[in-house]
């Protein structure tokens, strides 16, 4: 292909454009409907907090090979903070119990206490893992793991919500099993939490855009795709409002768009929208922030994860509609309830210095078995490929999936 138009400058589109820009003789144009790139991974300065924050929190592990490779390609490896151990602290909001989940980095570490599991989960875990790994495409997490006990409440339920943005009763088991294969089952070396102190944008997006421009890629913002023209098995033009871009015999396109946008352009099966994600950001006193670990998992409350960046504590509530429906807020706002849980975790009675609540509506596509089956083909036309975190089965919809999908779309159009 002589020229490829990549539509959508989220991480999947950026990854596709980077891969194509490495090919000699290929001209790349990257189109973005909005005024910013990054899709669901971007950073901004919030005036209320007077801090740079991410629009949402993303859990990344050291076993996310494509995230690591992406940062190596764009020169941002130094912006990754990789934990020394595969360890995550947890707090039960209801009981106050605290524990750590730690995986050994090798046999020597295992012999010296490198494995820590939540109390009461050791006997159930081997069987649970086996059932998850054997689950077929029609099985939900709750169906694969019918027993309820400490392993469910302290591990599987919070992990499902975090990874799949859906309650276990609806979430398909296959993506969760694939995540475990690529991280936990490879040991502690692949399961260390990775944070990005500078933010998602400065780490994953901004250096990539700079590299694309350096390679001569044209980036066109505020350029929303509104239609396609086709003839036979080929796309012949892309319509951006009144602007029509013809595709010659040796030209192609990659659409790196969410399913709701793609459904207006292609007659193909699409998954339903998934649930919202709430992200609450609290600026606190530096000494209070210092008492918190970089990452804390919460159970038995509304909040699921607390991420610490300097003096800002950012809290994630996944599957927000389901969780808010189950929570007894007793007249509290979601923001007030989330802060009350953060205050308990931090051991403080003081209010936050500033707060910001962000709701990402339909933050992911649905992740139930029926939704996973409703996927369009990767190559719906001979010169058209699709990309997106929702198009990288059996992976869940993550940064890793977005990057992998973008590079796979580039290979599909331009092998080699």
Nearest by Cα to 258 from 164, 365, 383, 413: 365
Percentage above 90 pLDDT, the chain: 87
Query: Could you read off the pLDDT of 188-207 as tens digits, one per residue?
Result: 999 999 999 999 999 999 99
**Sign of the C-alpha dihedral computed for residues 386, 317, 273 and 181 taken in this order:** positive
**Which pLDDT score is estimated for 110?**
42
Pick the CATH number of 45-82+274-360 from 3.60.20.10, 3.90.660.20, 3.20.20.70, 3.40.640.10: 3.90.660.20
Element of type H or E holding 109: helix 107-111
Match domain 3-43+200-272+367-413 to its CATH number in 3.30.390.50, 3.40.50.300, 3.30.465.10, 3.50.50.60: 3.50.50.60
Chain centroid to Cα 252, Å, comes to 28
Contact 367, 141 (CB under 8 A): no
Rounded CA separation 385/378 (Å): 6
Is 155 in contact with 121 (CB distance < 8 Å)? yes
pTM to 2 decimal places:
0.95
Report the pLDDT averaged over residues 179-187. 91
Using the predicted structure, report yes or no on whether residue 5 has a pLDDT greater than 90: yes
What tens digit of pLDDT does each residue of 126-140 get?
899 999 999 999 999
Token pair of 90 as six digits = 């947890």
* pLDDT higher than threshold 50 for residue 310: yes
What residue ranges of the chain are covered by domains with CATH 3.50.50.60?
Answer: 3-43+200-272+367-413
Q: What is the predicted pLDDT for the residue at 120?
A: 75
Domain with CATH 3.90.660.20 in the chain: 45-82+274-360
d(CA 8, CA 312): 30
Sign of CA dihedral 52, 56, 61, 67: negative
In this predicted structure, the answer to whether residue 358 has a pLDDT above a threshold of 90 is yes
In terms of Cα–Cα distance, which of 207, 212, 253, 210 is closest to 17? 212
Scan for tokens 């709430």, then name that residue. Answer: 278
Sequence-ordered strand ranges (E) for 269-389: 277-283, 295-299, 305-309, 312-317, 354-360, 384-386
Contact 250, 1 (CB under 8 A): yes
Distances (CA, A) of 249 to 27, 233, 304: 14, 12, 50
Task: Identify the pLDDT of residue 125.
Answer: 85
């Amino acid at each position: 292909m002589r020229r490829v138009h990549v539509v959508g400058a989220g991480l999947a589109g950026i990854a596709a454009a980077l891969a194509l820009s490495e090919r000699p003789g290929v001209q790349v144009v990257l189109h973005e409907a909005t005024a910013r790139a990054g899709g669901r991974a971007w950073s901004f300065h919030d005036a209320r907090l007077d801090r740079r924050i991410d629009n949402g929190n993303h859990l990344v592990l050291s076993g996310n090979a494509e995230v690591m490779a992406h940062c190596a390609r764009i020169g941002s490896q130094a912006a990754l903070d990789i934990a020394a151990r595969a360890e995550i602290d947890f707090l039960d909001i209801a009981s106050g119990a605290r524990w750590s989940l730690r995986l050994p980095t090798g046999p020597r570490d295992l012999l010296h206490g490198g494995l820590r599991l939540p109390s009461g989960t050791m006997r159930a875990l081997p069987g649970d893992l086996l059932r998850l790994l054997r689950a077929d495409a029609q099985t939900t997490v709750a169906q694969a793991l019918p027993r309820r006990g400490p392993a469910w409440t302290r591990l599987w339920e919070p992990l499902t919500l975090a990874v799949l943005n859906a309650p276990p009763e609806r979430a398909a088991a296959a993506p969760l099993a694939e995540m475990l294969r690529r991280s936990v089952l490879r040991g502690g070396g692949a399961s260390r939490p990775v944070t990005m102190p500078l933010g998602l944008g400065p780490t994953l997006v901004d250096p990539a855009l700079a590299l694309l421009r350096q390679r001569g890629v044209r980036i066109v913002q505020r350029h929303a795709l509104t239609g396609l023209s086709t003839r036979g098995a080929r796309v012949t033009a892309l319509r951006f409002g009144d602007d029509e871009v013809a595709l010659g015999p040796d030209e192609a396109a990659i659409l790196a768009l969410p399913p709701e946008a793609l459904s207006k352009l292609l007659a193909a099966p699409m998954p339903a929208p998934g649930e919202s994600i709430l992200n609450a950001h609290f600026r606190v006193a530096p000494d209070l922030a210092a008492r918190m670990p970089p990452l804390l998992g919460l159970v038995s409350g509304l909040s699921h994860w607390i991420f610490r960046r300097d003096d800002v504590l950012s809290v994630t509530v996944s599957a927000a509609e389901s969780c808010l429906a189950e929570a007894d807020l007793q007249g509290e706002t979601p923001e007030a309830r989330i802060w009350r849980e953060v205050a308990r975790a931090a051991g403080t009675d003081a209010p936050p210095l500033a707060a910001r609540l962000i709701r990402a509506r339909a933050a992911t596509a649905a992740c139930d078995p029926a939704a996973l089956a409703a996927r369009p083909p990767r190559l719906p036309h001979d010169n058209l490929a699709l990309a997106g975190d929702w198009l990288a089965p059996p992976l869940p919809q993550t940064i890793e999936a977005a990057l992998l999908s973008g590079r796979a779309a580039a290979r599909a159009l331009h092998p080699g």
